[in-house]
């Protein structure tokens, strides 16, 4: 039987996998392979937390494939060379994969596809990572969207809610060289990851269980519950989605089936968030410089503050003395994930109260988030910093005390991650300085009111500098 390599990348699943399904449909025996080539993602090579996830996801996938009689071939090195070696070792005459849309990956894949085709290999790629491919949605004028609402109006009309493609019932065995998973050295040498597995189970089964749990426990109340960090009110599917352990189509199908007959109404707020995920990819596809340049060019002239290493570290480690910020940053460090509302609050604090360039925050998130995703992380940071497409205006500085009081009114979330404050009543927990501070908990790193004022002054300075003919651009921070 003719063989096809199914080149798995961030589609670590067997169900609803268009490339795998197409290979089988075309009459090939599918040989599943994963190539570890982190340097090809430069300058955004996978961070420590996502490498942990990848290790466990590959382990789960290996188990799933072996149950069906097959094998996952693991290789490392340059993708093009590794594919050539796999073709030589397996006798495959086709290579199928699902498309990804980050700038570096697209460039690489285009070259690989042309090269394979020129050698008579049946090279084909498929859509399966998003609700809709970034190039398939355009404004009436044929331009990419820059504003979410009209983008969503367009996308929401095209969402495919058909049943996901089935997983294969069996897979062929193959005698070819495969690296041991440990040889990829994905697990951290300093074991800071113990909290990750308490909250997450990487792999396709874990993804489906998380979706099921969400549908049963939180979908109906998601519209309001999604803003409250003290509870499990969101799906926590983001790392599963990043690694493609579940497809957006499978989620849509499950949501609409669950919520019938008021299906669309109940599911809409959640689908809209998946829409933001697509929007982030749409923006990065059409504006590939966004990963380190602002969408709004005016922000090239923004007077970011010089970084004080001690303050940056206090933010990273949840030692700012501002309870909701510290709870969020400790949640991130301990669990590899942070609630979306709190991500916005901590990002606003870094880019506005501390006035540090958003890339300092994006890089820390990149290393510590299990769901670190170039499109979503870039969009989240630029949105909060005020320099992104359709962003919160820079002058909207989140007040962490007011945000805490509104979204964590009883202080349950803060107490979970900042046990030093356990004795405080809900009335004062978001501003411990109002009771003279708490022993063992740091004093507030900054004066929130004064730093807000200087952020606004810096914003005014940027706007004024744009009117000056010789305004010079600020450089970006280096590592
Ligand atoms: C500063 C900042 C950085 C962020 N970095 C990332 C990142 O690296 N990776 C990442 O996946 N998300 C990122 N987000 C978006 C969002 O915080 C997470 O997707 C969300 O918290 C994941 O939790 P969940 O799966 O429970 O979300 P749910 O509320 O259950 O949403 C379902 C899915 O929709 C998508 N989604 C939800 N909210 C957003 C959003 N605001 N933007 C884009 N997609 C969204 C995610 O894929 C998510 O899994 C960031 C947000 C901010 C403000």
Catalytic residue among 115, 154, 340, 399, which?
A: 340
Right CATH for 130-163+204-286 from 1.10.1740.10, 3.40.1360.10, 1.10.10.10, 1.25.40.80: 1.25.40.80
On whether the CB atoms of residues 61 and 73 are closer than 8 A, the answer is no
pLDDT tens per residue across span 6-17: 999 999 999 999
Check pocket membership of 131 for ligand 1, CB cut-off 6 A: no
If DSSP codes are grouped into helix, strand and coil, which group holds residue 93? Answer: coil
Take atom 6 of ligand 1 and give the residue whose Cα is closest: 377
Q: Model confidence at 469, in pLDDT bands (50, 70, 90)? A: low
- Tell me if residue 53 is catalytic: no
10 Å CB burial of residue 229 (0-12, 13-18, 19+) is: buried
pLDDT tens per residue across span 78-124: 999 999 999 999 999 999 999 999 999 999 999 999 999 999 999 99
Check pocket membership of 382 for ligand 1, CB cut-off 6 A: no
Q: In the predicted model, is pLDDT for residue 284 greater than 90?
A: yes
Spatial distance between the Cα atoms of 274 and 132, rounded to a whole number of angstroms: 11
- Residues 422-449, buried b or exposed e (16+ Cβ, 10 A)? eebeeeebbbbeeeeebeebbebbbebe
Q: DSSP code of 16?
A: T
Delimit the CATH 1.25.40.80 region(s) of the chain.
130-163+204-286
- CATH class label, 297-467: mainly alpha
Q: Model confidence at 24, in pLDDT bands (50, 70, 90)? A: very high
Check pocket membership of 236 for ligand 1, CB cut-off 6 A: yes
**What residues form DSSP beta bridges with 73?**
33
Q: In the predicted model, is pLDDT for residue 470 greater than 90?
A: no
Please measure the distance between the N-terminal and C-terminal CA atoms of the chain and give it in whole angstroms: 51
- Tell me if residue 192 is catalytic: no
Counting residues of the chain whose pLDDT is more than 70, the rounded percentage is 96
What is the DSSP track for 323-386?
Answer: HHHHHHHHHHHHHS---HHHHHHHHHIIIIIS---HHHHHHHHHHH-TT--HHHHHHHHHHHHT
473 C-alpha to center of ligand 1: Å?
Answer: 31
- Tell me if residue 276 is catalytic: yes
Q: What angle do CA 244, 248, 254 make, to 5 degrees?
A: 120
- Tell me if residue 340 is catalytic: yes
On whether the CB atoms of residues 353 and 452 are closer than 8 A, the answer is yes
Spatial distance between the Cα atoms of 38 and 48, rounded to a whole number of angstroms: 12
- Specify the higher pLDDT residue, 393 or 116: 116
The predicted model gives 294-305 an average pLDDT of 94
- Tell me if residue 358 is catalytic: yes
461 membership: H or E segment, kind and range: helix 448-467
Take atom 40 of ligand 1 and give the residue whose Cα is closest: 276
Q: What is the pLDDT of residue 445?
A: 98
Q: For the chain, what is the mean pLDDT?
A: 95
Check pocket membership of 363 for ligand 1, CB cut-off 6 A: no
The predicted model gives 319-334 an average pLDDT of 98
Q: What is the pLDDT of residue 406?
A: 98
Catalytic residue among 154, 276, 399, 405, which?
A: 276
Please give the structure tokens belonging to residue 323. Answer: 């309870």
Check pocket membership of 414 for ligand 1, CB cut-off 6 A: no
The structure's pTM equals 0.96
What is the DSSP track for 145-200?
Answer: P-SHHHHHHHHHTS---SPPPPPPS-----------GGGG--S-SS---TTHHHH-
Nearest to 251 by CA among 207, 281, 216, 217: 207
Delimit the CATH 3.40.50.620 region(s) of the chain.
3-129
Spatial distance between the Cα atoms of 17 and 392, rounded to a whole number of angstroms: 36
Check pocket membership of 237 for ligand 1, CB cut-off 6 A: yes
The predicted model gives 406-423 an average pLDDT of 98
pLDDT tens per residue across span 176-211: 999 999 999 999 988 888 899 999 999 999 999 999
pLDDT tens per residue across span 214-241: 999 999 999 999 999 999 999 999 999 9
Q: What is the pLDDT of residue 479?
A: 36
Take atom 30 of ligand 1 and give the residue whose Cα is closest: 235
Q: Model confidence at 475, in pLDDT bands (50, 70, 90)? A: very low
Nearest to 10 by CA among 130, 177, 182, 164: 130
Q: In the predicted model, is pLDDT for residue 129 greater than 60?
A: yes
Please give the structure tokens belonging to residue 199. Answer: 């909250």
Take atom 49 of ligand 1 and give the residue whose Cα is closest: 238
Delimit the CATH 1.10.579.10 region(s) of the chain.
297-467
Q: In the predicted model, is pLDDT for residue 477 greater than 60?
A: no
Q: What is the pLDDT of residue 403?
A: 98
Pairing of strands 3-8, 94-98: parallel
3-129 topology per CATH? Rossmann fold (3.40.50)
Nearest to 350 by CA among 362, 335, 337, 333: 362
């Amino acid at each position: 039987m003719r063989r096809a390599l199914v080149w798995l990348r961030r589609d670590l699943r067997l169900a609803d996998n268009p490339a795998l399904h197409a290979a089988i449909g075309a009459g090939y025996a599918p040989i599943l392979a994963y190539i570890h080539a982190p340097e090809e993602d430069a300058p955004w090579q996978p961070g420590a937390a996502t490498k942990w996830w990848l290790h466990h996801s590959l382990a789960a996938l290996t188990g799933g494939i072996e149950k069906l009689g097959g094998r996952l071939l693991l290789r490392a090195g340059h993708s093009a060379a590794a594919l050539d070696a796999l073709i030589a070792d397996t006798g495959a005459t086709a290579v199928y994969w699902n498309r990804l849309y980050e700038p570096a990956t697209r460039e690489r894949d285009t070259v690989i596809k042309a090269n394979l085709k020129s050698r008579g290999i049946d090279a084909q790629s498929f859509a399966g990572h998003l609700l809709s491919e970034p190039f398939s949605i355009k404004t009436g004028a044929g331009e990419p969207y820059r504003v979410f609402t009209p983008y969503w109006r367009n996308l929401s009309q095209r969402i495919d809610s058909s049943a996901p493609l089935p997983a294969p019932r069996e897979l062929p065995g193959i005698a070819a060289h495969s690296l041991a998973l440990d040889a990829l050295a994905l697990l951290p040498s300093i074991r800071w990851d113990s909290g990750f597995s308490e909250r997450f189970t990487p792999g396709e089964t874990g993804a489906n269980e998380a979706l099921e749990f969400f549908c049963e426990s939180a979908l109906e109340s998601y519209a309001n519950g999604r803003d409250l960090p003290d509870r499990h009110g969101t799906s926590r599917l983001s790392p599963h989605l990043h690694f493609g352990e579940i497809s957006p189509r499978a989620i849509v199908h499950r949501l609409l089936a669950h919520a019938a007959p008021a299906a669309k109404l109940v599911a809409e707020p959640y689908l809209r968030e998946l829409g933001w995920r697509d929007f982030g990819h749409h923006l990065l596809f059409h504006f590939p410089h966004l990963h380190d340049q602002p969408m709004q060019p005016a922000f090239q002239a923004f007077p970011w503050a010089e970084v004080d290493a001690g303050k940056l570290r206090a933010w990273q480690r949840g030692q700012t003395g501002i309870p909701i910020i510290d709870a969020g940053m400790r949640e991130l460090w301990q669990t590899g994930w942070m609630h979306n509302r709190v991500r916005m609050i901590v990002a606003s604090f870094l880019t506005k109260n501390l006035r540090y360039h958003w890339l300092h925050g994006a890089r820390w998130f990149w290393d510590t988030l299990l769901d670190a995703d170039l499109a979503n992380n870039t969009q989240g940071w630029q949105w909060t910093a005020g320099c992104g497409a359709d962003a919160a205006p820079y002058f909207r500085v989140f007040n962490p005390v007011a945000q805490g009081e509104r979204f964590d009114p009883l202080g349950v979330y803060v107490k979970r991650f900042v046990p030093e404050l356990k004795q405080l009543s809900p009335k004062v927990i978001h501003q411990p300085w109002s009771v003279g501070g708490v022993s063992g908990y740091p004093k507030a790193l900054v004066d929130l009111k004064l730093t807000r004022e200087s952020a606004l002054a810096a914003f005014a300075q940027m706007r004024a500098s744009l009117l000056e003919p010789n305004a010079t651009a600020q450089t970006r921070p280096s590592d």
